[in-house]
């Protein structure tokens, strides 16, 4: 058809819209853009950064407060002095060997769970997506309980056992689900089958154990930060130093993966690879967290949701979720340690008790908006 | 999540439509006759497995004695084992297996979600907490004692979940039920863990119930739970046609005259009765309710009038087979059925997942 | 890849002897097609004839079991994905818009193939998005959430995104399905303008044959995974071809407004109205029935 149509010529860009070559401007998604000469530019989401910084500050405050509480209460001044090396002898052990590594483990585990949860929810485009489905936690649990009950291992040995279990289970699930590529659905189903086998092993070991070993196992299974030492902190720090940059590097692909696989491919992202890479990083984060502290429920589910509401925008944001996870975990651990004093509850109990009302809140919102089932 | 031009179906997906030949590939058995015939074969297999369950066990008893014991009772130890242990156990296995398989199939039909298992209604978590309370607060020590607590716990938890999920517009939709179930289960499990960790004696008793077992459940437990199981089976089988209609979506179902809320509530009731009774009698046994319906669907297609009976027959086959195996390989002791079922079923299930595309519904 | 003969170098997108299949089901076999540069090509055919499958293969979304797809003479599967994305853009059938995303944000994501670690939002990016919004008439609603727009507007936003991508070739898979007629025309007019203005090569899959005739410079008719006819609509759309491809008996007349072919399906006996009766007169069959 060649009927001429009145096509207006492209109007000259209005002056106030002409892009600035250098300096600071705003991108369409609301983030700040900094441009320097040479054509380089970087993008920063101001709100995301603010939320992250505030949350981290809160987490550090709670962390500091937690250091002062316990069977040997001390003032913040005492804590600081001990850290600097000028504290009293009796505080040394408590601060340096007990509370400091425990608090740091809490921060790091919380951050990895928050990050992993955000990645999962983004990729699966489902606010209920949680790393627990894939069965890796169950594998880690089975190995950990094995080490506790059969080998009578120390805390560090349990951690390594759990990590081996997680990696082994992850690899097994992937291999079993692989058939000319991995389909998400097949992965989930195989994960469920493998998880069931792992849970069976755990139940079996629990019935065959001595009661005190069984108790130790149950504590681990609920998720606990008890007696987490510098070994844990070191391994977590190393793991995060590798995984977090990897996650951030792959995160830019999320912007187009959000639009669906076909659109993402059309925009130059190798959708399968990007997704597999991100899932691998998220799974590794979960494996490391579960090995260090047991399967702690809800942090991975709830942090991205809260993050999304605070930051605004259309999808879960990675870094704020990590910060929120850290805050959530240290706060829960504080409650777990002190609420039933002198008995100490595992932190997993508290996160579940906090998480359940949150899910119900989500439910209430869904009701009000009247979402269709 | 918005989809541009969101609509239920596309006229041309770019893939060839499934012709009759392709449809046959989706389920193993296509015609009604082959499905019925297959079902008879499955029942025969179940009968064989049941016989094995009576014939084999932790103590090797020669066939002749077993056969003898079925007809007479001469008070010997072996006859006692057959009468008081193996026969009730087999009957319980049949009942619990059928209940779990059926509950799982109904659950998946009602929620239109192939990953749903009866646990999402909070049944397991409620039963567990109730048993822990029984041990801790009421010092109940017998399996018979647990049964009523477990059933009550399962019932209360699922009713709560259902009520929570029904609040607000739209009544109890699958998504809201799943959310409510997840929330309440998590809460109940947390409380359960807290109690277990605060009282080591409770943990010592509870961990055996937790594994899920058919052992030591005498005739009274069987007699007590069988009526519920039978009632649940009846309720579930009657809802088969409704489930078919529900699978087309709420709107279409309403247009076809189904009272969606009522249908969901009745199905949920069937699930609770079945799963509650099964868990009360044998402790929590996972895997069966989730995976057997998939296998049934792969065999006979998405028609619930077939899926339900097939699930009802396949599940006890798995359960009794696993139970018998558990008794034979760990002589003179046994491995609990809750432990071994996953090991027996999972490899088979994984093979199935690999070989064919398990249809989503 | 070496450039081949002069005839192929004028085609930006070409398929040679393609076999396309899903699992074990072969949908297209031995198909070759050459997309003309700078024109609007429309692929038509009955449901499930393979037209979307062909488009997906051309867009590098589906790997052929046999045969090659050439982008500017080079094997598309040997080229880096990012490079392909700077030359070829696709608007797939069911793109997903994240909840609450604004128009400008969505269009901006089209610049992804041009962005790098340290070139996250350059001047070129900003200008391209601006131009795309102007060209599709979406500049006024740039800050509104995509969810709040009408179907036609939303489709225009997706086209703006593909436009911002800055490619010479654009592929669109059924961009007008589920839109009402006014919006269908709106979208097709826009695509036509883009083609005329920038000489972009545009390839569409449409299922409305009459609209295809109006807007296509080059029409490709498919049936059962093969190309039945190819060429300008006037040559391709004849009663015989329509009968063959769609199984529909029809008459082909000239569209009274655009002089392009227009397909008029032959009504079955019951509904046919004798030519002499005015449109308003009651159907004699019905009148009798009223008794």
Torsion over CA of A186, A191, A197 and A200, rounded to 10 degrees? Answer: -140
Counting the structural domains of chain A, the total is: 1
pLDDT-derived band at C56 (thresholds 50, 70, 90) equals very high
Whether A39 is covered by a domain: the verdict is: no
Query: Is the separation of the CB atoms in C229 and C218 below 8 Å?
Result: no
> Does the distance separating the beta carbons of B115 and A363 come in below 8 Å?
no
| CATH number of the domain enclosing A311 | 1.10.3470.10
Which of A178-187, B58-67, C277-286 is modeled with the greatest confidence? B58-67
Q: Please, which residues bridge with residue C220 across strands?
A: C43, C230
> Which range has the worst mean pLDDT, A79-83, A331-335, B233-237, B255-259?
A79-83
In the numeric block, the tokens 């509104």 are attached to: C144
Q: What is the pLDDT of residue C40?
A: 96
Rounded Cα–Cα distance for residues A7 and B100 (Å): 68
User: How far apart are the CA of A27 and the nearest CA of chain C, in angstroms?
Assistant: 7
Candidates A5, A43, A314; nearest CB to C99: A314
Candidates A27, A125, A255; nearest CB to C112: A255
- B170 contacts in chain A (CB < 8 Å): 367, 370-373
User: How far apart are the CA of A359 and the nearest CA of chain B, in angstroms?
Assistant: 6
Q: What is the pLDDT of residue B192?
A: 92
Q: What is the full DSSP assignment across B142-155? A: SHHHHHHHHHHHHH
- C22 contacts in chain B (CB < 8 Å): 15-16
Whether B336 is covered by a domain: the verdict is: yes
Chain C adjacent subunits, 3+ CB pairs under 8 A? A, B
Q: What is the pLDDT of residue C279?
A: 54
> Does the distance separating the beta carbons of C126 and A125 come in below 8 Å?
no
Whether A36 is covered by a domain: the verdict is: no
Mean pLDDT across C247-273: 85
Q: What is the pLDDT of residue A9?
A: 43
Distances (CA, A) of B109 to A3, A156, B182, B234: 56, 45, 19, 16
Minimal-distance CA residue of chain B relative to C153: B4
- A270 contacts in chain C (CB < 8 Å): 81
Residue pairs between chains A and B whose CB atoms are closer than 8 Å: 167
Q: Is the CB of residue A5 less than 8 Å away from at least one CB of chain C?
A: yes
State the residue range of the domain holding A280. Answer: 49-367
> Which range has the worst mean pLDDT, A307-316, B345-354, C9-18?
A307-316
* Number of Cβ atoms within 10 Å of the Cβ of B124: 27
Residues 6 or more apart from C102 whose CB is under 8 A from it? A28, A29, C142, C143, C144, C145, C146
Query: Is the separation of the CB atoms in C221 and C245 below 8 Å?
Result: yes
- DSSP letter at C165 equals T
Whether A252 is covered by a domain: the verdict is: yes
Q: Is the dihedral of CA A371, B8, C144, A53 positive or negative?
A: positive
Rounded Cα–Cα distance for residues B149 and B131 (Å): 6
Rounded Cα–Cα distance for residues B167 and C180 (Å): 37
> Higher confidence at residue B263 or residue A361?
B263
Whether B25 is covered by a domain: the verdict is: no
> Does the distance separating the beta carbons of C215 and A41 come in below 8 Å?
no
Q: Is the CB of residue A211 less than 8 Å away from at least one CB of chain B?
A: yes
> Which range has the worst mean pLDDT, A68-82, A175-189, B284-298, C92-106?
A175-189
Q: Is the CB of residue A207 less than 8 Å away from at least one CB of chain C?
A: no
State the Rg of chain A over Cα. 24
**pLDDT more than 90, % of chain A:** 27
> Does the distance separating the beta carbons of A352 and B203 come in below 8 Å?
no
User: How far apart are the CA of C230 and the nearest CA of chain A, in angstroms?
Assistant: 17
> Does the distance separating the beta carbons of A193 and B342 come in below 8 Å?
yes
β-bridge pairing C66-71 and C96-97: unpaired
Query: Is the separation of the CB atoms in B336 and A206 below 8 Å?
Result: no
> Does the distance separating the beta carbons of C158 and B4 come in below 8 Å?
yes
pLDDT in tens, B296-342: 988 888 889 999 999 999 999 999 999 999 999 988 888 889 889 98
> Does the distance separating the beta carbons of A268 and C112 come in below 8 Å?
yes
The token duo for C113 is 């193939």
Q: Is the CB of residue C95 less than 8 Å away from at least one CB of chain B?
A: yes
State the residue range of the domain holding B79. Answer: 38-354
> Does the distance separating the beta carbons of B291 and A192 come in below 8 Å?
yes
Query: Is the separation of the CB atoms in B207 and A202 below 8 Å?
Result: no
Rounded Cα–Cα distance for residues C202 and C170 (Å): 5
Residues 6 or more apart from A254 whose CB is under 8 A from it? A122, A123, A278, A315
Burial of A108 (0-12, 13-18, 19+ CB in 10 A): buried
Rounded Cα–Cα distance for residues A149 and B208 (Å): 15
Whether A28 is covered by a domain: the verdict is: no
* Number of Cβ atoms within 10 Å of the Cβ of A267: 28
Q: Is the dihedral of CA B185, B188, B190, B193 positive or negative?
A: negative
Q: What is the pLDDT of residue B2?
A: 28
- Mutate which of B12, B15, B23, B355 to disrupt the C interface (most C C-beta within 10 Å)? B12
Distances (CA, A) of A218 to A100, A153, A221, B302: 24, 15, 5, 41
- B7 contacts in chain C (CB < 8 Å): 178
Minimal-distance CA residue of chain C relative to B11: C47
pLDDT in tens, C65-77: 999 999 998 999 9
Rounded Cα–Cα distance for residues A207 and B204 (Å): 9
ipTM over cut 0.90: no
Q: What is the pLDDT of residue C274?
A: 61
Helices A230-251, A155-177: crossing angle, 10 deg rounding:
30
Torsion over CA of B335, B338, B341 and B343, rounded to 10 degrees? Answer: -70
Q: What is the pLDDT of residue C287?
A: 47
Give the angle subtended at the CA of B283 by the CAs of B281 and B287, to the nearest 5°: 115
- C57 contacts in chain A (CB < 8 Å): none
Residues 6 or more apart from A57 whose CB is under 8 A from it? none
Candidates A204, A346, A370; nearest CB to B170: A370
Among A23, A85, A129, smallest CA distance to B178 is for A129
User: How far apart are the CA of C157 and the nearest CA of chain A, in angstroms?
Assistant: 13
The token duo for A345 is 């509850």
Candidates C98, C178, C207; nearest CB to B12: C207
Is cis: bond before A342, omega within 30 of 0? yes
- Mind listing the pLDDT tens digit of every residue in chain B (361 residues)? 222 222 233 333 333 333 444 444 456 777 778 888 889 999 999 999 999 998 888 888 888 888 888 887 777 888 888 888 888 899 999 999 999 999 999 998 888 877 777 777 888 899 999 999 999 998 888 888 888 899 999 999 999 998 888 887 777 777 778 778 878 888 898 899 889 988 888 898 898 888 888 888 888 888 888 899 999 999 999 988 899 988 888 888 888 888 888 898 899 899 999 999 999 999 899 889 888 998 998 888 888 999 999 999 999 999 999 999 999 998 888 888 988 998 888 998 888 888 876 645 3
Candidates A1, A255, A270; nearest CB to C215: A1
Whether B299 is covered by a domain: the verdict is: yes
Minimal-distance CA residue of chain B relative to C57: B14
- DSSP letter at C139 equals G
Among C202, C98, C163, B330, smallest CA distance to A127 is for C98
Whether B146 is covered by a domain: the verdict is: yes
Q: What does pTM read for this prediction?
A: 0.80
Whether A7 is covered by a domain: the verdict is: no
Q: What is the pLDDT of residue C94?
A: 78
Query: Is the separation of the CB atoms in C281 and A22 below 8 Å?
Result: no
Burial of C285 (0-12, 13-18, 19+ CB in 10 A): exposed
> Does the distance separating the beta carbons of C112 and A269 come in below 8 Å?
yes
User: How far apart are the CA of C286 and the nearest CA of chain A, in angstroms?
Assistant: 41
Rounded Cα–Cα distance for residues C60 and C13 (Å): 11
pLDDT-derived band at C9 (thresholds 50, 70, 90) equals low
- Mutate which of C21, C31, C52 to disrupt the B interface (most B C-beta within 10 Å)? C52
Burial of B354 (0-12, 13-18, 19+ CB in 10 A): middle
Q: What is the pLDDT of residue B61?
A: 84
> Does the distance separating the beta carbons of A200 and B339 come in below 8 Å?
yes
Query: Is the separation of the CB atoms in B352 and B273 below 8 Å?
Result: no
Counting the structural domains of chain B, the total is: 1
In the numeric block, the tokens 């039920």 are attached to: B177
pLDDT-derived band at C290 (thresholds 50, 70, 90) equals very low
CA C156 to chain centroid: 14
β-bridge pairing C40-45 and A40-44: unpaired
Chain A adjacent subunits, 3+ CB pairs under 8 A? B, C
Candidates A188, A196, A222; nearest CB to B115: A188
- Mutate which of B1, B8, B11, B16 to disrupt the C interface (most C C-beta within 10 Å)? B16
In the numeric block, the tokens 């979402």 are attached to: A371
| CATH number of the domain enclosing B139 | 1.10.3470.10
The long-range contacts involving B331-336, CB below 8 angstroms and separated by at least 24 positions, are B331/B58, B331/B59, B331/B60, B332/B58, B332/B59, B333/B58, B334/B58, B334/B215, B335/A204, B336/A203, B336/A204, B336/A207, B336/B211, B336/B212, B336/B213, B336/B215
């Amino acid at each position: 058809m060649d009927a001429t149509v009145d096509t207006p010529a492209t109007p000259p860009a209005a002056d106030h819209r002409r892009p600035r070559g250098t300096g600071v401007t705003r991108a369409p998604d609301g983030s700040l853009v900094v441009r320097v000469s040479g054509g380089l530019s970087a993008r920063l989401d101001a709100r995301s950064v603010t939320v992250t910084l505030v949350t981290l500050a809160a987490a550090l405050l709670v962390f500091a407060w937690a250091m002062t509480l316990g069977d040997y209460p001390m003032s913040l001044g005492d804590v600081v002095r001990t850290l600097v090396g000028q504290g009293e002898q009796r505080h040394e052990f408590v601060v340096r060997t007990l509370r400091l590594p425990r608090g740091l483990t809490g921060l790091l585990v919380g951050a990895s769970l928050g990050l992993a949860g955000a990645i999962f929810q983004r990729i699966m485009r489902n606010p209920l997506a949680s790393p627990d489905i894939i069965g890796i936690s169950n594998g880690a649990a089975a190995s950990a309980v094995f080490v506790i009950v059969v080998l009578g291992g120390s805390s560090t040995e349990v951690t390594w056992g759990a990590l081996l279990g997680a990696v082994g289970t992850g690899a097994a699930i992937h291999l079993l689900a692989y058939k000319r590529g991995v389909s998400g659905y097949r992965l989930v189903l195989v994960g469920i089958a493998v998880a069931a086998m792992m849970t069976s092993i755990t139940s079996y070991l629990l019935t065959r154990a001595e009661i005190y070993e069984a108790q130790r196992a149950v504590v681990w299974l609920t998720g606990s930060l008890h007696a987490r030492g510098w070994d844990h902190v070191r391994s977590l720090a190393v793991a995060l130093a590798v995984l977090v940059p990897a996650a951030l590097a792959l995160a830019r692909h999320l912007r187009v993966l959000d639009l669906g696989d076909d659109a993402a491919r059309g925009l130059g992202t190798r959708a399968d690879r990007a997704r597999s890479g991100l899932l691998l990083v998220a799974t590794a984060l979960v494996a490391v967290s579960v090995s260090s502290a047991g399967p702690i429920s809800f942090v991975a589910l709830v942090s991205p949701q809260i993050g999304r509401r605070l930051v605004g925008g259309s999808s879960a944001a990675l870094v704020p979720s990590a910060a929120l996870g850290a805050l959530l975990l240290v706060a829960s651990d504080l409650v777990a340690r002190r609420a039933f004093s002198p008995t100490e509850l595992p932190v997993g109990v508290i996160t579940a008790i906090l998480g359940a009302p949150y899910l119900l809140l989500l439910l209430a919102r869904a009701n009000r908006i009247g979402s269709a089932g | 999540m918005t989809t541009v031009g969101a609509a239920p179906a596309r006229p041309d997906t770019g893939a060839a439509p499934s012709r009759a030949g392709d449809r046959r590939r989706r389920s193993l058995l296509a015609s009604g006759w082959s499905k019925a015939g297959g079902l008879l074969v499955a029942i025969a297999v179940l009968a064989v497995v049941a016989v094995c369950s009576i014939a084999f066990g932790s103590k090797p008893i020669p066939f002749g004695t077993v056969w003898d014991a079925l007809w007479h009772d001469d008070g010997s130890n072996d006859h006692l084992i057959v009468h008081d242990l193996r026969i009730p156990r087999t009957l319980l296995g049949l009942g619990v297996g059928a209940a779990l398989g059926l509950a799982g199939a109904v659950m998946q039909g009602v929620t239109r979600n192939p990953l749903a298992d009866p646990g999402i209604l909070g049944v397991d978590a409620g039963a567990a907490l109730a048993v822990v309370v029984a041990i801790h607060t009421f010092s109940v020590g017998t399996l018979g004692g647990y049964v009523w607590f477990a059933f009550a716990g399962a019932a209360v938890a699922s009713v709560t979940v259902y009520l929570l999920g029904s609040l607000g517009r739209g009544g109890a939709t699958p998504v809201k039920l799943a959310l409510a179930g997840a929330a309440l289960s998590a809460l109940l499990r947390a409380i359960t863990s807290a109690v277990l960790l605060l009282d080591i004696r409770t943990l010592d008793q509870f961990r055996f119930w937790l594994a899920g077992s058919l052992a030591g459940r005498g005739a009274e437990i069987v007699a007590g739970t069988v009526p519920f199981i039978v009632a649940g089976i009846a309720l579930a089988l009657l809802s088969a046609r409704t489930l078919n209609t529900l699978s087309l979506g709420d709107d279409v179902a309403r247009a076809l005259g189904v009272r969606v809320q009522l249908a969901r509530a009745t199905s949920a009731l069937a699930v609770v009765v079945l799963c509650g009774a099964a868990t009360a009698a044998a402790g929590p046994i996972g895997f069966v309710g989730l995976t057997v319906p998939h296998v049934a669907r792969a065999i006979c297609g998405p028609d619930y009038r077939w899926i339900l009976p097939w699930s009802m027959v396949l599940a006890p086959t798995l359960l009794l087979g696993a139970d018998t195996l558990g008794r034979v390989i760990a002589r003179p002791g046994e491995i609990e059925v809750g432990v071994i079922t996953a090991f027996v079923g999972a490899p088979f299930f994984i093979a199935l997942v690999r070989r064919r595309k398990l249809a989503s519904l | 890849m070496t450039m081949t003969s002069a005839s192929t170098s004028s085609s930006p997108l070409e398929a040679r002897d393609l076999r396309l299949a899903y699992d074990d089901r072969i949908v297209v076999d031995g198909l070759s097609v050459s997309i003309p540069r700078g024109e609007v090509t429309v692929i038509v055919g009955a449901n499930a004839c393979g037209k979307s499958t062909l488009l997906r293969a051309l867009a590098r979304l589906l790997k052929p079991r046999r045969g090659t797809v050439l982008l500017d003479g080079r094997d598309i599967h040997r080229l880096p994905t990012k490079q392909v994305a700077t030359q070829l853009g696709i608007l797939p059938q069911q793109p997903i818009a994240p909840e609450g995303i604004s128009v400008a944000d969505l269009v901006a994501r089209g610049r992804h193939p041009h962005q790098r670690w340290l070139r996250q939002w350059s001047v070129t990016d900003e200008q391209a998005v601006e131009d795309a919004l102007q060209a599709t008439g979406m500049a006024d609603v740039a800050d509104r959430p995509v969810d709040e727009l009408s179907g036609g507007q939303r489709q225009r936003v997706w086209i703006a995104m593909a436009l911002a991508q800055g490619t010479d070739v654009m592929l669109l898979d059924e961009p007008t399905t589920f839109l009402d007629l006014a919006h269908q025309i709106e979208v097709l007019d826009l695509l036509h303008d883009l083609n005329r203005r920038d000489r972009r090569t545009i390839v569409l899959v449409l299922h409305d044959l009459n609209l295809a005739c109006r807007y296509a410079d080059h029409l490709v008719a498919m049936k059962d995974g093969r190309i039945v006819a190819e060429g300008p609509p006037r040559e391709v759309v004849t009663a015989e071809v329509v009968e063959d491809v769609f199984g529909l008996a029809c008459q082909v007349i000239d569209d009274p407004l655009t002089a392009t072919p227009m397909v008029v399906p032959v009504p079955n006996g019951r509904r046919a109205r004798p030519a002499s009766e005015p449109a308003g007169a009651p159907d004699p069959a019905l009148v009798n029935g009223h008794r």
